[in-house]
Structure 1
Amino acid sequence: MHGPVSSGWLLVALCAATGAYCLLRMRSSVEEQRRAAGGEALMGFGMAAMAVPATAFTPPSWAWPAYAVVFGAAGLHALWTARAGARHLHHLVGAGAMVYMAVAMAASPGHGHGGSGMPLLTGILLLYFTGYVLVTGVRLVPGPAGHAVAAAGGPGGWGDRPELARACRLSMGMAMVAMLLTM
């Protein structure tokens, strides 16, 4: 992505750490949490790879189309799983945003949008992810004592902590906003 080098490395660290935690969440005893964690790990590591500053590593020309294919497939999977519930639609929007950014980067590597202003789709995605970050952040505000443990069905392992899963989703949402702003 185009932007300051220090911000790029911070995004890389944030997204890679989030992807690593999502891999840990894949050990959950709850099948739905394992499935969601797998998609979120892919998103975290994909965002980390996209956020590597261009001054440190310039991806080969085939990398951006490869990102588009991988996240296009992830979007199709999210669309398929959305039949079970609307909560999977967020993964579809996230995968679509990754495809959009990969296509934009392939079309104009190193040049952003050429000063033509913010494209409509970028603005729509920014509004969506900003709203998502605000709603997810509010959901992280602590409730009555013991509420989170009771909601989780008792104390569980690292993969069964809903507040940590929400924190990961929040950090990926914030990273998506930062990445969209640099386009």
Structure 2
Amino acid sequence: MHGPASPGWLLVALCAATGAYCLLRMRSSVEEQRRAAGGEALMGFGMAAMAVPAAAFTPPAWAWPAYAVVFGAAALRALWSSRALWSPSALWSPRALWSSRASAHHLHHLIGATAMVYMAVVMAASPAAHHHAHGASGVPLVTGALLLYFVAYVLLTGTRLVPAGPVPAGTGPAGGSAPGGSPGWGDRPELARACRLSMGMAMVAMLLGL
């Protein structure tokens, strides 16, 4: 975050483009798709703002607490949306627990929003954060755990991008379809996964900058 200019602007461009595509995905006719796309758009634009090089813009002192509040609210919303994972029936049935793909995706949103809160708190607590991120230092255990999660997420999502034949309309987490019966370009599951892969890689880069 707020590191060298060239990599920083590349990260900004990647996150902003991902956020913009997620805004377009919010036009889906599938409610679950719209909810997921809204959370991912917020994450993409938030990460883009965090990655702006300090040489171009130094955020004011109130910016980091504002980030923490916004993404803290997003984390609470994701926690509520993933409540099916914590139901008594799910706890007694591991198969039922992992079969809820939508709730598992909300859990990923929860971890992502929590990571954003963590980075904002680290930057706010570091005196050097108002100039550049090289003076910021997070809790190694927390940073390492988040890094392990997002590296694993990137690897897993990357393997899922390998073509495995056509996906029937209305299936999968992205699940929408165009009027003709085939998935609309905003509902294609491989494009949604590519967006999540991009944000996962960006999160790894930002955590490495702490």
Q: 2:117 aligns with which of 75, 87, 99?
A: 99
Q: Distance in 2 between matches of 1:9 and 1:181?
A: 16
Alpha-carbon deviation of 1:160?
1.1
Equivalent position SS for 1:174:
helix
AA partner of residue 182 (structure 1): G
Unaligned stretches of 5+ residues in structure 1: none
User: Which residue of structure 1 aligns with residue 200 of structure 2?
Assistant: 173
- Partners of 2:138 and 2:22 in 1: how far apart? 35
Tell me the amino acid that sits aligned with residue 50 of structure 2: M
TM-score (norm 2): 0.81
Give the structure 2 partner of residue 26 of structure 1. 26
> Please, which of 160, 171, 175 is the counterpart of residue 139 of structure 1?
160
Q: Tell me if structure 2 keeps the 8 A contact 1:64–1:102.
A: yes
* 4+ residue runs over 6 A deviation: 115-118
Residues 157-172 of structure 1 mapped to structure 2, 5 A cutoff = 157-172=184-199
The equivalent residue for 1:148 is 167
117 and 78 in structure 1: CA distance in 2 versus 1, 3 angstrom threshold: closer
8 A Cα contact 1:23 1:38, kept in partner? yes
Structure 2: runs of 5 or more not aligned = 85-102
SS in 1 for 2:186: helix
The aligned residue for residue 83 of structure 2 is 83
1:158 shift after superposition? 2.5
Identity of aligned residues (%): 80
Q: Match of 1:165, as an amino acid?
A: A
Change (3 A) 1:56 1:134: same
State the shift of 1:119 in Å: 1.1
Secondary structure of 1:142 counterpart: coil
Aligned to 2:88: none
Q: SS at 2:82's partner residue?
A: helix
Query: Is the CA contact 1:148–1:163 (under 8 Å) kept in the aligned structure 2?
Result: no
Is 1:126 matched with 2:147? yes
Say which one has the larger Rg.
2
What is the alpha-carbon distance in structure 1 between the residues aligned to residue 142 and residue 56 of structure 2?
Answer: 28
Give the count of matched residue pairs. 181
Could you tell me how far 1:148 is from its partner in structure 2?
3.1
Q: TM-score, normalised by structure 1?
A: 0.92
Q: CA offsets, 1:64-116, max 9 Å, x none? A: 00000000000000000001423211000000000000001111114647597
Q: Is the 8 A contact 1:136 1:170 kept in 2?
A: yes
Q: Which amino acid aligns with 2:21?
A: Y
The 1:158–1:117 alpha-carbon spacing in structure 2 relative to 1, beyond 3 Å, is closer
